[in-house]
Structure 1
Amino acid sequence: MPLIRNIRVAAQLPCILTSGTPKTEHNYLLGILVGTVSDWRVRTARTLRVVDAFVIVWAVAGAYSIRFGLDSSVTVAGLDSSYLLLSILLSVTWWLMLEAWSTRQSRILGSGPDEYKRVAAASLWLFGFIAIFSYVFRVETARGYVGIALPAGLIGLLLARWLLRQHLSVHRQRGRRMSRLLLLGGPSSVSHLATTLSSEKHAGYLPVAAYTPGHASSAEELDSIGLPVLGHEPTTVAILNAIDRSEADAVAITAGVLLHPKTLRQLGWKLADRNVGLIMAPALTDIAGPRIHKQQVAGLPLMHVTTPSLEAGQRVAKRLFDVVVSAGLLVLFSPVLAVVSLLVKFDSTGPVIFRQDRVGFEGAHFKMLKFRSMVADAETRLAEHAALNEGNGVLFKIKNDPRITRVGGFLRRYSLDELPQLFNVLTGSMSLVGPRPPLPREVDAYEDDVHRRLLVKPGVTGLWQVSGRSNLSWEDSVRLDLYYVENWSLAGDFTILLRTARAVLGSHGAY
């Protein structure tokens, strides 16, 4: 399609250049023809194609060498065909499957699980087809060969994508390799979308300007986020002129946009002609993908948002996961528990284990266990240090708390003081993953909406742990906890546990 479009543009170029087309579009069209346009999307896709090819050849060649050596053959429909030919065919088909599943699209690169899901789906579909083909045509395919090629290739592809994602994230933190967005909508919605996207640079969206059709007084409201407002006229021509002025790669339409549906449809056609992306950003926040379902009704793409719930089967699965993993971790870390106990005992006077009243599932109180990291009378000295509070509003935190012991500072930095909470998980008062376990005085200060945090068991770790820990504001802590409650999944728990290991080793935000 891009090639066809470029040929069409080339044919129309003389007419275009003599018309009133803006200078920026002239430059873009000329760049296409002479090959000077160097878009990060093209470069990244090209890199992915090369990396995918290398990984696939490595996996297939490795499987061939391990299973057969250098001399082997397979009989297919009475013909003697070399496994070497089969390996070449498999490599090419695998690479093409990744292309067919759109695993190299720029909109899925750098953020979210969709890229990994597509890579896995393309690979599993291919080998599923091989299994069906072998069964139907009774082809004796070596299971050891397939059994090595598939996991090796899939793991290699996913690892390569992860490494490239880290590289892309570094560039995006510096403002490079991002899609330039013109935000279209009401002032408040545009402001919220710009703030959100600017705080999540790894997603790859850079708001460069705003256009607020029908809201002539919006300029002052958007000054705080530093976006220029390029107009308010609710016409397709005016919006296209704003796109040219901002040199945007895509248009993000959010709530409050005062445009007629016919105008929106025409705008979509014009954007497609210009190869400019169109993104719809509804006024739904903190809703995960599995809860959103699309339905086409009379040409209208309706979005259904299901009610969050933790069914009986899901509760059993989560509890079983907690028991198995916590028991395994207690066995694995038993030497560490013993050593830390001795260090705490000989470092300062007081009990080794600190028991503190916390609020758990549906408001039930329980005793949370931790290795003591403060002096024995820390709770009674709390009022003395109230003026030093550096917490995020409801939470009480002091970065250099004078009550922390020498060993306690080290334990807190690497979250070793929280290891005894695995016993809380094993006995059922906590979960491995969940909202932060609050103190009773914190719950007393909750607003009504914040009480939704208590609909699931508190966790040893959670989104708050892997997203900044003590450096988070109170609003961000609440938002992350409520997001978890609204969008819980077992796969999400597993992902958070993996991210926790990195957060703990980095000791970022721990004090």
Structure 2
Amino acid sequence: MPGIKGLDDATRSGKMSSPNKMLSCSDKDNLACFEISAEPGPEARAFKTQVQAPYWAKWLEWLLKGPCRTALTLGFFDVFAVSSGMMIGFAFSRMVLEREEETAGYLLFSFFFIMFLIAVFYIKENYGKLGERRPEYELQSIVTGSLIALLCIFIVDSINYKGIKFPQLSFIIAFVFSLMFIIVCRFGLRELLKTIWSYGLAREKVLVIGDNIKEIQSLLDQLHIQRYERFNVIGYLAQKPSNGSNDNLTYLGQFKDLPRIKKDKQIDKVLFAMRGYSDQRHQTLIHRLNECAKLQIQPLIISKIFNDFNVSLTLEGYSEVLTLEHREPAYLKRSLRFTKRLLDILGSLTILICSAPAWLIIILLIKLNDGGPIFFRHRLLGRNGKIFYAFKFRTMVMNAQEILKNDPELFKAFSANYKLENDPRITRVGKYLRKLSLDELPQVLNILKGDMSLVGPRPVKEEELERYGEFGAERIKIRPGLTGFWQVSGRCATSYEERMLMDKFYMYKYSIWLDAVIILKTPIAVFFGHGAT
């Protein structure tokens, strides 16, 4: 196992709240509770930790250190992105649309837009610590904040400020460019931050308090699939060493040693993971939370009581009593299902029209390669266990199945992971089609038919479903996707167990905004061939 990484299920509902704001679990968009990654295991630890961090990484760490510097850095990139978008929008309107807009009015409204945008982003806490917010929440906040700023501009225009004419069409075009640049800059910075984490910079040290090592390891394994390495779990405190511990989590002493360890190790956060929850445990927890407050250490809590995707922890509005409520999974809500299906139809039609020339070229190449069939039909499980045939451009030799059956070693390797590294059955043309995922283009027809979705869990065969255990019945409640969380998180470079965790993670975290993030990441994953065979 590469390392122990995981997910705090107590924040899955996004509703947990606390009146005194002691626990970071109270913030819906905060990652602290559910995106902690331990330091990788010995076999994976050397990938960059032994490499000297480049100067730019140290410089970026300095820029993003502290709330003031972070806010100024993010604000600078937002102003740069909007200014660039406004200039390109103005040039586009003049050169392409041949519209003669008043320069003074355009500049004035551009200035107002920047001011409104910064104010809205500040109110929406978009200038907080970079990386603490999940990417789908980040995208949602950027888009909604930008639309609010645009609405403010139209309100200003309705006042007819000193009779200055507002170039509406040109400004809307510029807004689209600005929004694109803001998203590129913000997510680009997030990727750079991940890079400097891999050099060991800007990471926060986390100490586990409690002896529930098995639960922690399961929790941290979940987080490994998110490739999130901000937090470095250095060890744990308990009455005595746990039998379930391993080399990845070191026993550092008892709770009374916390002040010393805080000083020696420079601890940033502590993660509580205790077995059971009695009145005595409650008093112990309150005492330890108070001690953490005195030491100015942020506490996080793993609670198995609330670690259920079907339960949400909410704060009753008047009495401020914490209540448990059953919640329907997002992927079962009719409104979201309708929206997702509508976007599937519009998106697949767009892809089909735009990729028509590529279809002709691919068909010609396949025919010239061996003269065999163009398409391959793959028998897969769809929504509610319905069998369907997914269309793909053929990338293997025509007797691929016979080759697999006649080679016991090859068949054994395939059965273990349902993938083969350096598969000898792939044709020369198929190799490039797979690398760029062009072999899956015909699946837009399956999307139009309703067999698949643009984004969803990866399609599986009937015999694969058994490996999912109890989760298998739930997994087939939604349509498989042309792309998905697995495809943008390593593809074939991941193990089968990781893929199952990724499918589960996507279903429980499902939202339209998560789909949008995955769609934005897909071209990058395809272009760079991340994890492709």
TM-score by length of 2: 0.73
**Which residue is 2:495 aligned to?**
473
Provide closer, same or farther for how the CA distance between residues 505 and 404 of structure 1 changes in structure 2, counting only shifts above 3 A. Answer: same
**Which residue is 1:248 aligned to?**
267
Residues 131-280 of structure 1: matches in 2 within 5 Å? Answer: 142-144=165-167, 147=172, 153-185=178-210, 186-196=212-222, 200=226, 202=228, 204-212=230-238, 215-218=239-242, 220-225=243-248, 227-233=249-255, 237-256=256-275, 260-280=281-301
**Which residue is 2:97 aligned to?**
none
Counterpart Cα distance in 2 of 1:108 and 1:140: 44
Gaps of 5+ in 1: 1-36, 74-82
The answer to whether structure 1 residue 69 and structure 2 residue 103 are counterparts is: yes
Task: Write 1 or 2 for the structure with the bigger share of helix.
Answer: 1
Counterpart Cα distance in 1 of 2:403 and 2:381: 22
Structure 1 window deviating more from structure 2 (448-457 vs 57-66): it is 57-66
**Which residue is 1:294 aligned to?**
314
CA contact (8 A) 1:392 1:472 kept: no
Provide closer, same or farther for how the CA distance between residues 404 and 331 of structure 1 changes in structure 2, counting only shifts above 3 A. Answer: same
Deviations 1:117-171 (CA, angstroms, capped at 9, x unpaired): 4444554445545655776899867543775775555444333222222221110
Deviations 1:376-400 (CA, angstroms, capped at 9, x unpaired): 1111222123413585865432212
Counterpart Cα distance in 2 of 1:125 and 1:385: 61
When Rg is computed on C-alpha atoms for both structures, the one with the higher figure is: 1
Deviations 1:420-472 (CA, angstroms, capped at 9, x unpaired): 22222222222222222222333455533223222112222222211222222
CA contact (8 A) 1:109 1:115 kept: no
Q: Which of residues 433, 441, 444 is equivalent to 1:411?
A: 433
Structure 1 window deviating more from structure 2 (473-482 vs 43-52): it is 43-52
The answer to whether structure 1 residue 482 and structure 2 residue 504 are counterparts is: yes
One-letter identity of the residue aligned with 2:315: Q
CA contact (8 A) 2:222 2:501 kept: no
Other structure's SS at 2:340 match:
helix
Structure 1 window deviating more from structure 2 (393-402 vs 454-463): it is 393-402
Gaps of 5+ in 2: 1-60, 95-100
Deviations 1:480-510 (CA, angstroms, capped at 9, x unpaired): 2223333433333333222221211122222
One-letter identity of the residue aligned with 2:167: G
**Which residue is 2:58 aligned to?**
none
One-letter identity of the residue aligned with 1:251: V
Counterpart Cα distance in 2 of 1:470 and 1:87: 46
**Which residue is 1:102 aligned to?**
125
TM-score by length of 1: 0.75
Counterpart Cα distance in 2 of 1:313 and 1:90: 33
Counterpart Cα distance in 1 of 2:373 and 2:194: 45
The answer to whether structure 1 residue 306 and structure 2 residue 327 are counterparts is: yes
One-letter identity of the residue aligned with 1:360: G
User: Quick one: percent identity of the two aligned structures?
Assistant: 27
One-letter identity of the residue aligned with 2:205: R
CA RMSD of aligned residues (A): 3.8
**Which residue is 2:39 aligned to?**
none
CA contact (8 A) 2:136 2:517 kept: no
Provide closer, same or farther for how the CA distance between residues 377 and 488 of structure 1 changes in structure 2, counting only shifts above 3 A. Answer: same
